[in-house]
Structure 1
Amino acid sequence: MTEFELLGPRAHGPACGSAVLKASAEDFQVDEVLDIPLAGEGEHLWLWVEKRGLNTEEAAKRIARAAGVPLRLISYAGLKDRQALTRQWFSLHLPGKLDPDLSAAQDASLSVLKQVRHSRKLQRGAHAANGFILRLTQLSADTEALERRLQQIAAQGIPNYYGLQRFGHEGGNLAHARHLAAARSLPEKRNVRSRLLSAVRSYLFNRTLAARVTAGSWNRAQPGDLLAFTDSRSFFVAGAAECADPRLARLDLHPTGPLWGVGASPAVGAVQQLEQELVGDEGDLLEWLAEAGLQHERRILRLPIGGLTWHYPEPDILQLEFVLPAGCFATALVRELVDLLPAGQTDNPCVF
């Protein structure tokens, strides 16, 4: 599948130019934002880890080997990119044990910056947000148009698309999932099963969001929508009064789209009809998600960009700093600005 088929249209107009992202790991920096007070004692050792050129699962394996514990005793809040400089939390379950020597896990690609004991393990999705510093290099753009676009994004937000990385190289995760769904089979390995189920839900969500972007309704509520606050997983039905809620204009409250699971869309009226029609040709995938036991959830369609600032360290470099809720993709912001070139290339952008 093409990038456009996986992601959908831009909301704010054509790209303002082109640039390179991730020419080096330092060009894509991510810090987990955790608002959990750590006790300083307990059976779980929490690690604040910096890694570069290493994905989260590889880092967990190295920590497990160095600590001499099974991988299943290592927990983390979220997956972070390999091609990036990231700082994130891990936890180890060590009942009755002293803090292990983790020096064997550490090198230029992984450093343990801090370690703290706590009474509970780190749960998936426990971090509140992610802070980003991105550097777009080899920038070739209409700078006035780019400034206007950035101001527009800061004021209006962006479509909350799942990024291409969710679907694997050339959409391989989705293709694999389709094959398994047709065979009514689920992978035995938990991490593989989770990755493929997530790819399917993400793809179906992006289809709904793409339709709302095309219709111009991705950033406004309509009767029958299910509304949610930026950092909440609960939602409620929009009537006429809710559609006029001033918190929508402040980017605190948003319409949502479906993360499919068991049952029909809980949206109402024309919104429900649209959501059902958009997946009407994906019966195998819908049944596969339901058979896996996933429950219907919602995801906000509009993504506000927290604390967005920008500057130009050099004429051909744009540096962006911002914060996103956990589970949202920084690349969704980048694609509203520029087309991306592969590192070392100066033409033929990756348009998506």
Structure 2
Amino acid sequence: MSEQQDAPWNLDWPRALGGAAISADFRSEPEDFVVEELAAPQPGEGEHVLLQIRKRGANTGYVAQQLAKLAGVQNNDVGFYGLKDRHAVTTQWFSVWLAQKPEPDWRQIESDEITLLTHFRGTRKLRRGEHLGNRFKIRLRNVRGDRSAAEAVLKQVSAGVPNYFGEQRFGHNGGNLDLANRFSGEQEAGKRRRIPRNQKAFAMSAARSWLFNQVLASRVVEDNWQDLIEGEPETAASGPLWGRGRNPASGAQLDLELAVMAPWKPWCDWLEHCGLSQERRPLMLQPQGFQAEWQDEDLILSFALPPGTFATAVLREVAELVNQSTSAIK
């Protein structure tokens, strides 16, 4: 392993819009982070029940487990579009496959944390990433720093920010990266052992995300993260999600990506061995309907993002965030 891999994980990626001129308290209470799925599942006659739920202070997995328990089905019979924050107020859809089981009284799911908004029958299970995206309304409290400089950054956000994977992808204190380091190192040393499925999934996701962020960070430093460079395989600037198969980049783009990822070759080899296929991800993220409003010492931001992207990628360009919660964020 390289010295870089043995060092503590640095998740403070380079900023692109001039640097955060302010700091603010983040997630002081759940209502400071409001998320609404942009989704409209269609009702129909079928063996699935679709439920729209608003939750506060609960994570998606917990709600899914409670639905499975109430319906008397297996956990994997419950579907949803994506994981949502625990320390937040979020509105999202779930599906429950009942097959021939009787339908329970869904109102029994309600608690201080869970509110059922509506439900109806549907024809299929909801799957990750199939929705249109998420709408966010986020309050940053007790803003300190240069507001005029922050305004200059805010005016640039709609044009795009670096599409980094958020810190939550890497686990508490980079714990998922530690797993990736260990598993790839064991493979390099020829050790074979059975890896728990959930640990392997977290490690693979973190490793791919880390490699992508490394490439994106290098492009941000070179100030060409929005530009098409020679050998770009997409119609917009993109970076690798590593896996098995040929990297579709060529020329200068391929040389850059291989150079950045060279210290992480054991990770690349491990991801290929795991059977993941090469994919590409845009380097730029454009928030839709971005609005910023000052309320005394607070800054309220509203915007929408596509699935698989992170609100924190937007927030970190605006402010240094002092997280007041200990929950993972997405």
Residue 177 to residue 274, structure 1, CA distance change in 2 (3 Å): same
Q: 1:285 aligns with which of 253, 263, 267?
A: 267
Question: Is 2:51–2:94's contact at 8 Å kept on the other side of the alignment?
Answer: yes
Q: What's the counterpart of residue 150 of structure 1? A: 154
- Does 1:22 find its partner at 2:27? yes
Question: Is 2:179–2:199's contact at 8 Å kept on the other side of the alignment?
Answer: no
TM-score (norm 2): 0.90
How far apart, in 1, do the equivalents of 2:203 and 2:80 lie?
19
Q: How does 1:177-256 map to 2 (within 5 A)?
A: 177-184=180-187, 187-189=195-197, 191-228=198-235, 254-256=236-238
Q: What's the counterpart of residue 306 of structure 2? A: 325
Q: Note the C-alpha offset of 1:227.
A: 2.1
TM-score (norm 1): 0.85
Letter matched to residue 101 of structure 2: K
Secondary structure of 1:6 counterpart: coil
Per-residue Cα deviation, 1:309-340 (whole angstroms, up to 9, x for no partner): 1112x211111110001011111111101111
Question: Is 2:243–2:275's contact at 8 Å kept on the other side of the alignment?
Answer: yes
Per-residue Cα deviation, 1:214-236 (whole angstroms, up to 9, x for no partner): 111111112211225xxxxxxxx
Q: What's the counterpart of residue 272 of structure 1? A: 254
Q: How does 1:51-66 map to 2 (within 5 A)?
A: 51-66=55-70
Question: Is 2:229–2:252's contact at 8 Å kept on the other side of the alignment?
Answer: no
Residue 255 to residue 186, structure 1, CA distance change in 2 (3 Å): farther
Q: Percent identity among equivalent residues?
A: 40
Question: Is 2:71–2:98's contact at 8 Å kept on the other side of the alignment?
Answer: no
Secondary structure of 2:52 counterpart: strand
Structure 2 unaligned segments of length 5 or more: list them. 1-6, 188-192, 326-330
How far apart, in 2, do the equivalents of 1:170 and 1:276 lie?
27
How far apart, in 2, do the equivalents of 1:212 and 1:126 lie?
29
Runs of at least 4 residues off by over 4 Å: none
How far apart, in 2, do the equivalents of 1:115 and 1:272 lie?
49
Q: What's the counterpart of residue 317 of structure 2? A: 336
Per-residue Cα deviation, 1:15-40 (whole angstroms, up to 9, x for no partner): 1111011000010111111154x133
Q: CA RMSD in A?
A: 1.7
Q: Note the C-alpha offset of 1:75.
A: 1.0
Question: Is 1:78–1:125's contact at 8 Å kept on the other side of the alignment?
Answer: yes
The more displaced of 300-309 and 257-266 is 257-266
How far apart, in 2, do the equivalents of 1:72 and 1:321 lie?
33
- Does 1:162 find its partner at 2:165? yes
